[in-house]
Chain A
């Protein structure tokens, strides 16, 4: 469903991603790990179409379509979802109103009827329960005054309602205490299915105790230096990131390929 080929990305004047190769098939969960500054968040943001991240080389195919040619909103309507590391506070925009607009934009694209307020609330109430989110969060302005945990939970809630085909989780675990981490992870796990893929970007192995990945990739200095199964995360937990970069050459072709 997703093929990333030799992706190079520049932020302002610095090249951050220096040729990423990665293939994600339907239903797979891939974890992208790496130390600070390795480019893992850049990878997620570039895939979501953030205008601050300039693709200088490479190709990304999403269900056979050129993802990089699409505007961020087109990507979203085609089923790509990004859970932000830093969800933006938007005063005056009601959370439910916004989410209804987003869901209907996606439904319209898929040729489905738009949901009215009543049907929308039916969809939403169900998802709220799973994520232990209080109804009141719906009527607040998007992320405004939310605690760190509430923001992350709201991201997963949006994801649950929008039901993406490809979800990018950008350091969703950062700033979460253990209880919030469990709730968020349960929300993600509840959504795992044979036709939905995840790319989970994280610094810590901790999240992967809850969201068990199929593949783990280690990013260092803008390249994938190692790929492996879930046990790779445990190894990193023990040994740390130090020394991973040195393995780059010995690991040969980086990226999970099938």
Chain B
């Protein structure tokens, strides 16, 4: 562990603080409110050893999800893999570094933000990730830079058939009035068992516009925990779109803090699960300042004995007058045994605000199914068309056409693989 020794003092301090925090709290359990429906004992019990180095299929996995026309950053088992990345078309105003090198070289913004955006006190898995703070990728966008080329981070995890753990980390610092679109794709070897515990921290400067896309298509035997936290300054715009089709247990904690007046955010997602898989999404929106807007739509498709948890927290602090927040959570249950626990959690302390939330759980519309079939579509074609339409509102937010195409293709593949037609 030579690299750990070489890390600057501030990195070591943060790593040790996180390790101490995690040692104190340990893995969460179902007696804790935030983890009531999600039992992570299988992760704790498996005692996954930390992955070291690469694995045989890493490069083929990375190329299988490559998005043409974008910069590619590869993270293999938590480590930045320069050799599998493609930075040949580096646009002006973008600086990209492996976190290990960046921290050592004292790159701008790293010391200020790395492992600081996330509150490790409230998120045990983020603490666990930070306790391994070592590498990952840092993306720094200069003030005023409008980056046309999308930046695609591919995060692969595997241990050549042996169960491993990885703690990948991404830091994005978007300077004032900059614009950038970033995607992260999580992928592993089919049916591999591993534990991926990712953290992404995003700092959105004043007037900056950041789109952040997540495509979670891990192995269906994998444990996928991801924490995304964004801090948005005045008039900044942050949009998160998350698409999840993989993992045996997924837990996403996506938090957005609107820390300056006039900030705006979108937090959308689609998830799809079958079998006995679990999709847990906890979102948290912190309206800290006045005149901010937020839009949130989450949509779930569940079959078999799949379970989903959606917890949508919105805090409107006392100063956050003229807040406009809208949250929608919808789920389609395609079998009698699929379940969802949906919980909007509004904490409003300001008095002049507009906050709406709605949750709806339903089945496929059989009259619509019949209508489509009566025009000649098979039951499967009709179903896929309706499910695609159901997800459409969120898919429409994908502003990288090549990525959208890839995510839609994966959506249909997942439907064909996982979701049996109910007669």
Contacts and interface: CB of A to CB of B under 8 A. Distances in A.
A binds B: yes
Interface of A: 48-51, 71-73, 75-77, 81-82, 84, 87-88, 90-93, 98-99, 101-102, 105-106, 109, 141-142, 158, 162
A101 B389 CA distance: 14
Interface string B363-375: 0011110111111
A72 B370 contact: yes
- Top 5 closest pairs, chain A to chain B, by CB: A92-B389, A76-B376, A102-B375, A88-B371, A105-B376
B392 interface: yes
Given A73-B378, A82-B374, A101-B381, 9 more contacts: A72-B373, A72-B374, A73-B376, A90-B365, A92-B390, A98-B372, A101-B377, A105-B378, A109-B376
A88 B367 contact: yes
B371 A92 contact: no
Interface residues of B, number: 23
A83 to B, nearest CB: 10
Contacts of B372: 90, 93, 98, 102
B421 to A, nearest CB: 12
Contacts, number: 75
Contacts of A73: 373-374, 376-379, 381-382
B319 interface: no
A77 B372 CA distance: 12
27 contacts: A48-B374, A72-B373, A72-B374, A73-B377, A73-B381, A73-B382, A76-B376, A77-B376, A81-B375, A82-B374, A87-B371, A90-B386, A90-B389, A91-B389, A92-B388, A92-B393, A98-B372, A98-B375, A101-B381, A102-B372, A102-B376, A105-B377, A105-B378, A105-B381, A106-B376, A158-B375, A162-B375
Contacts of B388: 92
Given A50-B370, A51-B370, A101-B381, A93 B389 contact: yes
A74 B205 CA distance: 57
User: Could you say which of B368, B371, B382, B385 has the most chain A C-beta atoms within 10 Å of its C-beta?
Assistant: B371
Contacts of A81: 375
A105 B381 CA distance: 10
B368 A90 contact: yes
B374 A93 contact: no
B370 A102 contact: no
Contacts of B386: 90, 93
Contacts of B371: 84, 87-88, 90, 142
A184 B379 CA distance: 29
Nearest to A48: B374
User: Could you say which of A50, A72, A88 has the most chain B C-beta atoms within 10 Å of its C-beta?
Assistant: A72
Contact of A101 (B367, B379, B385): B385
A93 B376 contact: no
A92 B390 CA distance: 7
Contact of A88 (B368, B379, B385, B389): B368
B379 A76 contact: no
A93 B377 contact: no
Interface in B386-408: 386, 388-390, 392-393
A108 to B, nearest CB: 9
Given A73-B379, A92-B390, A92-B392, A49 B385 contact: no
Contacts of A84: 371, 374
Contacts of A106: 376
A72 B381 CA distance: 13
A73 B421 CA distance: 15
Contacts of B365: 88, 90
Contacts of B378: 71, 73, 105
A105 B378 CA distance: 9
Given A98-B385, A101-B381, A76 B390 contact: no
A102 B377 contact: yes
A76 B389 contact: no
Contacts of A105: 376-378, 381
Contact of A49 (B366, B374, B393): B374
Contact of A76 (B374, B385, B392): B374
Contacts of A48: 374
A99 B365 CA distance: 19
Nearest to B423: A51
User: Could you say which of B368, B375, B377, B381 has the most chain A C-beta atoms within 10 Å of its C-beta?
Assistant: B375
B373 A76 contact: yes
Nearest to A168: B374
Contacts of B374: 48-50, 72-73, 75-76, 82, 84
B379 A71 contact: yes
Contacts of B379: 71, 73
A184 B376 CA distance: 22
Contacts of A98: 372, 375, 385
Contacts of A71: 373, 378-379
A61 B381 CA distance: 27
Contacts of A162: 375-376
A209 to B, nearest CB: 28
